[in-house]
C-alpha cells in the first residue's frame, strides 16, 4: 500500500511539494520491546510522568482445524440502497474433527450457513456466534465435521459503507454534473471480512472464483480477467460477470470495482495486458501512468528474474480513497491524484509522484503478492522493500529525476527524525489484535524500512542482492515468508553475516550517532570512530556497556575521490580506530558518502571545518551536502551544537544549484520558522530566508528556459513559494500580477507555478483573495488542482478567514480524505492558524473521529495539527484531551506529538536568544 501525497518532514510550512510516498500512520502497538517509554529529557525531568502506555488487547489467531482451499464468491451490490447480497461456497479442508468453524466477519449478517462433507449430507449450522470485538464469527454445527474435504456455504448481507474500508461506496461526479456512486474495495490490512466471511489472515491463502452481479451499464473489475458475462435471469437490467480463478493468494489482496470508467490500454514487452481506468471523459489522463506501468513490469521481471504471474494488470483511479494506492493483485487501486496526469494541468511533482506510486505498487505484485509476509509483524518488509525499489524503478525509467538524492530528503531524513524520538518503535513489531495492525503503517515501516534495505543493498552489492532476491522469490512463491527467510537467502548469495547485521537495525528501535575524530600520522590518517544511540533530546548519561549498539556498515571517501569509496569497515563494537593510508594533511575525509548508512554523524571541529568549503565550491556531492546540513540541523535540535552554527552553514549554500538540497534546506528552515513563530522576532527569520533564497530566485526567474528539465521546474516552484511566503516584495508583486491574469483567463498559470503563486497571494491576501480561490476550487475539474488549492488555503492570515477555511474543510466541497490536508495547512501556516486548527479539531472531534476511526488518517490529522506547538503546557493539554477522547488508532502518534512539543519548547528556551542576536547582528551595518 502506498500512502498519499506525503507529509513533509516539517510542519506543513511549505506548500507540500511531494516528498516521500509514505504514510504517517497509526502509531504502533503499545507494548513494544525496546520501548519502555524512557522519556528522559535533559531539562525536563517531569516529562517521564507525561505518558502512560495502554494495555495490549488479548488476541488469538484463527484456529487451524478448518482452512479454505478455494472461495467461490458471488456478490450483488445495490448502488442505490448501499447494501449487498453475497453467497459464499468455499472448498475447505477439515484437519481435525470439530463441531464449529471460526472465521473473520465484521459488519456482515449471515442468513444461512451449512457444511457439505465430500460425498456426504448437508449439515445446517444451528447458530452464529459473533465476537464483534475480535471481528470473528463462530458457526456452530449439530454434529462433528469429520476430517477431510467439504464445502462451506454461507448466504449473507452487508452494507456498502462510507468509511473507505472493506466493500464501500465512492461518490463521483459524472461529466453531466450528477453524483453517482461506485462500489469499490480496500481490504488491507483486515477488512476483507467486511465484504465476505473469510479467513482474513495473510498466511491463510486460497484461490478465488469471483462473480459480480452488476448494472449492465457499469464496468465490473476484479483481480483476474473476465471469462463470462451474461444477462442476469432475475433482472434484465443486470449482468452476471464471472472472472478467471486467481492464483493462490491472501484475502487482503482480493479486489473488485463496479462503476463508470474509461480506460487506455497497452501491452508490456513481455505480453501482459495493461489498462489504466480513469473517470469517464478523462482517458488521456491515464496515458502517463500507462507508460510508466508498461516500462516497469519488464524492469521488475528482469530485476527479479521472475515473470509477472497474471495475464493482465489494471490500474484504476478511485474518487474516495483513504490511502495513496493499494497493490491488489492484478487490480491496483489509486487515489485520482496518484494515477491521473493531465499534460496541460499537472505539475512536475505530480508526474514524479505518480511514477513513484506506480513503481511501488507494481513491485508488490512480486514482493508481497507472490511471496507474502506470514503475519503483520513482517509488514515492514513488504512496505520497506517496495518503498526502496520504487526509487530504483523510477531511476531506471526517468534518470533525469535524480531520484536517489530525493530519496535522502524524502524518506531517509524523515525516518531519522521520527526514529530519534523516545516514542519511536522497532521496525519489527509484534502485532496481535486487528486494531493494532494499522498502527504500523508508518514512517518506520516504510521510510526506515526502505533506508535500511538501501544500506543493505549497498553493503551486499547489486549482483549478490539480486541473486538472493531471486532465490527468495522462487523458494517462497505462492507461499508466506518471514524477515529471517529473506536474510537467509541474501546471506547464502553474498556470504556476508546479513542476519546478524540486519537484526541490529530491525529488532531494536533508534539508530546510532557516529562520532569521528582524526589525527595525521605521516602520510596516514588515523580515524577514531565510536557509536552511541542518537536521541532527539540530546546525549544520555550512561556507559557503553548498557547502551544499545548496531552493526554499522561504514564507508569512507576523501577529497581525492568524493564519489568513490576508499574504504569500508563494519563497526560491530562501541568504538574502533581506522587507518586510512596515503592522505595528504590538507585533504578532507568524509564518512558515509552517498548518505547511505542509516545514522547521524558528529565530526570533530577540525574535520567539519575542512568539509564546509566543499558545500560552497560544490566539490561534495549534492547528496552529501544535503546530509551534512541535515545532520547539523538535527544536532542543533538535540542541543548538541548551537542553532547559530547551522544558520552559518546554511549561508554557505548561496551557490547551491541542486533542487533536492534546496528542498531539504527549505524543509529545515520551515521547522525553524515554525519554532520562531512563538517569539517576537519571527520577521527576522523571514528576512534570513529572503536573503538565502533571493540569489537562486533571481537566477531562475519566473519562466522556464529552453533546455530546462524536470528538476528545474521543481526548484523554481520551491524557491518562488519560499520567497513569496517570506514576503519577498518583488515575488509578491509578480505573483499577484500573474494570479490576476490567470483568474481573468488572460494568461493561464503553468501548472508548476500554481502552488507557489496561490500560496503567496493567500499568505498576503484578504477575503477577496479567499473568495477567488474558493471559486477556482469549485470550477476545477481535476482533483490535482483541487488538492493544490486545499493545501494552501490555510495560509490566509486573518482569524475570521482562517475559521472559514476550517469550516470549508468539513464541507461537501472537500473529499473526506482531503479534509485532513486542509486542516493541516491551516495549522502549519502560522501561530494563529495552529491555535485555530487545534480548537477546531477539539470542537469537531466526534465527527472527525467517526469519519476516520480505525484508519491512519486520524493519526495524520493529529500530527499535522499539534506537532508545531512549542510550549510545555500544550503537551499536557494534548495528552489530557486524548485521555478523555480515546483514539486507539493514534495512541503512539499522540505520544510522539507530545514529545515533539516538549523538544520544541526546550529548543526554544535553549537557543532563541542566541538566534535572535545572530539575526540582529547580520543586519547591523559593518563597523
Residues assigned a catalytic role: 361
Q: What is the largest CA-CA distance in the chain?
A: 102
DSSP states along 199-221: --STT--BEEEEEEEEETTSEEE
Helix/strand/coil percentages in the chain, nearest 5: 45, 20, 35
**Backbone phi, then psi, for 659, in 5-degree steps?**
-55, -50
- Nearest partner of 597 among 468, 456, 798, 712, judged by Cα: 456
**742 known ligand binder:** no
Distance from C-alpha of 765 to C-alpha of 796, rounded to nearest angstrom: 6
**Mapping DSSP to helix (H, G, I), strand (E, B) and coil, where does residue 910 land?**
helix
In whole angstroms, give the CA distance from residue 164 to residue 322. Answer: 6
How many Å apart are CA 909 and CA 920, to the nearest integer?
18
CA triplet 859, 862, 868: central angle to 5 degrees?
130
Report H helices in 495-583. Answer: 498-506
- The DSSP secondary structure of 413-463, one letter per residue, reads HHHHHHHTSTT---SS----SHHHHGGG-STIIIIIHHHHHHHHHHHH-HH
728 is in an annotated binding site: no
Phi first, then psi, for residue 775 (nearest 5°) are -65, -45
User: Under a CB-based contact definition with an 8 Å cutoff, are residues 275 and 265 in contact?
Assistant: yes
Task: Kindly state the DSSP code that residue 776 receives in the 8-state scheme.
Answer: H
Rounded to 10 degrees, the C-alpha dihedral 27/28/34/36 comes to 60
**Cα-Cα end-to-end distance for the chain:** 59
Residue positions counted in the chain:
927
Q: With CA atoms as reference, report the closest residue to 222 among 321, 333, 296, 69.
A: 333
- CA-based nearest residue to 640, from 531, 549, 534: 534
Element (DSSP H or E) covering residue 229: strand 226-231
- Is 645 assigned a ligand-binding role in the annotation? no
Distance CA 669, CA 633 (A): 10
Three-class SS of residue 730? helix
Cβ proximity of 357 and 18 under 8 Å: no
Question: Residue 193's Cα: distance from chain center in Å?
Answer: 25
How many Å apart are CA 715 and CA 134, to the nearest integer? Answer: 50
- Strands of the sheet containing 256-259, edge to edge, are 166-173, 179-186, 256-259, 219-222
Q: 237 burial class (0-12, 13-18, 19+ CB within 10 angstroms)?
A: exposed
Residue partners of 494: CB distance under 8 A and separation at least 6: 460, 461, 464, 465, 467, 468
- Contact between residue 367 and residue 481 where contact means Cβ atoms under 8 Å apart: no
Beta-sheet pairing, 512-521 with 136-145: unpaired
Q: How far apart are CA 44 and CA 536, in angstroms?
A: 13
Q: Which of 824, 903, 883 is nearest to 858 (CA)?
A: 824
Collect all residues with Cβ–Cβ distance below 8 Å to 59 and sequence separation of at least 6. 134, 432, 433, 434, 436
Identify the three-state secondary structure at position 196. coil
As annotated, the binding site for Zn(2+) includes 360, 364, 383
Amino acid at each position: 500500500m502506498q500512502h498519499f501525497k506525503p507529509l513533509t518532514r516539517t510542519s506543513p510550512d511549505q506548500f507540500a511539494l511531494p516528498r516521500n510516498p509514505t504514510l504517517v500512520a497509526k502509531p504502533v502497538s503499545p507494548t513494544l520491546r525496546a520501548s519502555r517509554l524512557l522519556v528522559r529529557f535533559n531539562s525536563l525531568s517531569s516529562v517521564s510522568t507525561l505518558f502512560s502506555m495502554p494495555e495490549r488487547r488479548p488476541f488469538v489467531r484463527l484456529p487451524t482445524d478448518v482452512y479454505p482451499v478455494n472461495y467461490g464468491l458471488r456478490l450483488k451490490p445495490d448502488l442505490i440502497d448501499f447494501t449487498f447480497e453475497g453467497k459464499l461456497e468455499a472448498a475447505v479442508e477439515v484437519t481435525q474433527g470439530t463441531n464449529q468453524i471460526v472465521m473473520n466477519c465484521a459488519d456482515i449478517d449471515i442468513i444461512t450457513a451449512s457444511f457439505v462433507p465430500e460425498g456426504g449430507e448437508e449439515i445446517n449450522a444451528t447458530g452464529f456466534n459473533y465476537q464483534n470485538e475480535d471481528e470473528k464469527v463462530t458457526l456452530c454445527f449439530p454434529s462433528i465435521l469429520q476430517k477431510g474435504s467439504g464445502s462451506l456455504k454461507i448466504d449473507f448481507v452487508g452494507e456498502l459503507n462510507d468509511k473507505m474500508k472493506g466493500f464501500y461506496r465512492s461518490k463521483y461526479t459524472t461529466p453531466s454534473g450528477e453524483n453517482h456512486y461506485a462500489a469499490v474495495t480496500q481490504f488491507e490490512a483486515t477488512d476483507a471480512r467486511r465484504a465476505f466471511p473469510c479467513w482474513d489472515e495473510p498466511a491463510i491463502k486460497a484461490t478465488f472464483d469471483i462473480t459480480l452481479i452488476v448494472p449492465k451499464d457499469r464496468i465490473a473489475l476484479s483481480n483476474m480477467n473476465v471469462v463470462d458475462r451474461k444477462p442476469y435471469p432475475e433482472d434484465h437490467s443486470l449482468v452476471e460477470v464471472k472472472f478467471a480463478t486467481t492464483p493462490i493468494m491472501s484475502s487482503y489482496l482480493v479486489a473488485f470495482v463496479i462503476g463508470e470508467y474509461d480506460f487506455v490500454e497497452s501491452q508490456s514487452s513481455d505480453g501482459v495486458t495493461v489498462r489504466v481506468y480513469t473517470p469517464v471523459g478523462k482517458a488521456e489522463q491515464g496515458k502517463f501512468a500507462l507508460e510508466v506501468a508498461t516500462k516497469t513490469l519488464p524492469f521488475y521481471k528482469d530485476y527479479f528474474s521472475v515473470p509477472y504471474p497474471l495475464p493482465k494488470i489494471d490500474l484504476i483511479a478511485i474518487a474516495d480513497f483513504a490511502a495513496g494506492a493499494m497493490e491488489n493483485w492484478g487490480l491496483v487501486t489509486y487515489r485520482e491524484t496518484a494515477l491521473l496526469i493531465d499534460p496541460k494541468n499537472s505539475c512536475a511533482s505530480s508526474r514524479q509522484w505518480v511514477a513513484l506510486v506506480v513503481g511501488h505498487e507494481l513491485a508488490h505484485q512480486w514482493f508481497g503478492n507472490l511471496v507474502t509476509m506470514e503475519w503483520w509483524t513482517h509488514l515492514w518488509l513488504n512496505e520497506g522493500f517496495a518503498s526502496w525499489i520504487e526509487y530504483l524503478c523510477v531511476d531506471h525509467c526517468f534518470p533525469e529525476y535524480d531520484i536517489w538524492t530525493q530519496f535522502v530528503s524524502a524518506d531517509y531524513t524523515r525516518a531519522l527524525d521520527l526514529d530519534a524520538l523516545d516514542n519511536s518503535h522497532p521496525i519489527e513489531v509484534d502485532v496481535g489484535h486487528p486494531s493494532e495492525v494499522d498502527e504500523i503503517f508508518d514512517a518506520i515501516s516504510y521510510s526506515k524500512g526502505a533506508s535500511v534495505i538501501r544500506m543493505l543493498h549497498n553493503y551486499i552489492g547489486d549482483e549478490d542482492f539480486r541473486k538472493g532476491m531471486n532465490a527468495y522469490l522462487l523458494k517462497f512463491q505462492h507461499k508466506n515468508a518471514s524477515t529471517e527467510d529473506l536474510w537467509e537467502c541474501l546471506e547464502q548469495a553474498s556470504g556476508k553475516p546479513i542476519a546478524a547485521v540486519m537484526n541490529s537495525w530491525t529488532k531494536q528501535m533508534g539508530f546510532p550517532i557516529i562520532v569521528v575524530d582524526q589525527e595525521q600520522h605521516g602520510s596516514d590518517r588515523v580515524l577514531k570512530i565510536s557509536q552511541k544511540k542518537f536521541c532527539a533530546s540530546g546525549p544520555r548519561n550512561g556507559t557503553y556497556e548498557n547502551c544499545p549498539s548496531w552493526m554499522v556498515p561504514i564507508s569512507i571517501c576523501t577529497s581525492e575521490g568524493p564519489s568513490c569509496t576508499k574504504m569500508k569497515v563494519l563497526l560491530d563494537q562501541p568504538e574502533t580506530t581506522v587507518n586510512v593510508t596515503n592522505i595528504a594533511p590538507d585533504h578532507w575525509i568524509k564518512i558515509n558518502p552517498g548518505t547511505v548508512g542509516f545514522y547521524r554523524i558528529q565530526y570533530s571541529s577540525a574535520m567539519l571545518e575542512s568539509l564546509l568549503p566543499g558545500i560552497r565550491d560544490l566539490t561534495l556531492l549534492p547528496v552529501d551536502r544535503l546530509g551534512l546540513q541535515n545532520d547539523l540541523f538535527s544536532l542543533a535540535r538535540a542541543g548538541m551544537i548551537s542553532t547559530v552554527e547551522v544558520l552559518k552553514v546554511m549561508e554557505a549554500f548561496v551557490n547551491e544549484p541542486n533542487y533536492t538540497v534546496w528542498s531539504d534546506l527549505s524543509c529545515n528552515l520551515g521547522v525553524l520558522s515554525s519554532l520562531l513563530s512563538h517569539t517576537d522576532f519571527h520577521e527576522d527569520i523571514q528576512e534570513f530566508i529572503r536573503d538565502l533564497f533571493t540569489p537562486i530566485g533571481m537566477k531562475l526567474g519566473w519562466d522556464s528556459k529552453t533546455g530546462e528539465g524536470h528538476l528545474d521546474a521543481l526548484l523554481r516552484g520551491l524557491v518562488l513559494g519560499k520567497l513569496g511566503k517570506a514576503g519577498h516584495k518583488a515575488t509578491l508583486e509578480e505573483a499577484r500580477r500573474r494570479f490576476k491574469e490567470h483568474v481573468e483567463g488572460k494568461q493561464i498559470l503553468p501548472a508548476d507555478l500554481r502552488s507557489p503563486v496561490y500560496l503567496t497571494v493567500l499568505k498576503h491576501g484578504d477575503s477577496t483573495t479567499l473568495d477567488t480561490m474558493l471559486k477556482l476550487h469549485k470550477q476545477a475539474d481535476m482533483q490535482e488542482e483541487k488538492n493544490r488549492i486545499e493545501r494552501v488555503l490555510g495560509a490566509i492570515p486573518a482569524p475570521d478567514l482562517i475559521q472559514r477555511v476550517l469550516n470549508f474543510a468539513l464541507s461537501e466541497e472537500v473529499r473526506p480524505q482531503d479534509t485532513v490536508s486542509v486542516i493541516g495547512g491551516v495549522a502549519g501556516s502560522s501561530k494563529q492558524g495552529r491555535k485555530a486548527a487545534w480548537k477546531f479539531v477539539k470542537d469537531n472531534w466526534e465527527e472527525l473521529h467517526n469519519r476516520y476511526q480505525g484508519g491512519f488518517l486520524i493519526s495524520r490529522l493529529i500530527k499535522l495539527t499539534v506537532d508545531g506547538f512549542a510550549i510545555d503546557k500544550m503537551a499536557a493539554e494534548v495528552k489530557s484531551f486524548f485521555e478523555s477522547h480515546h483514539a486507539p488508532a493514534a495512541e503512539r502518534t499522540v505520544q510522539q506529538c507530545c514529545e515533539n512539543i516538549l523538544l520544541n519548547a526546550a529548543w526554544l528556551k535553549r537557543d532563541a536568544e542566541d538566534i535572535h542576536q545572530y539575526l540582529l547582528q547580520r543586519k547591523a551595518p559593518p563597523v
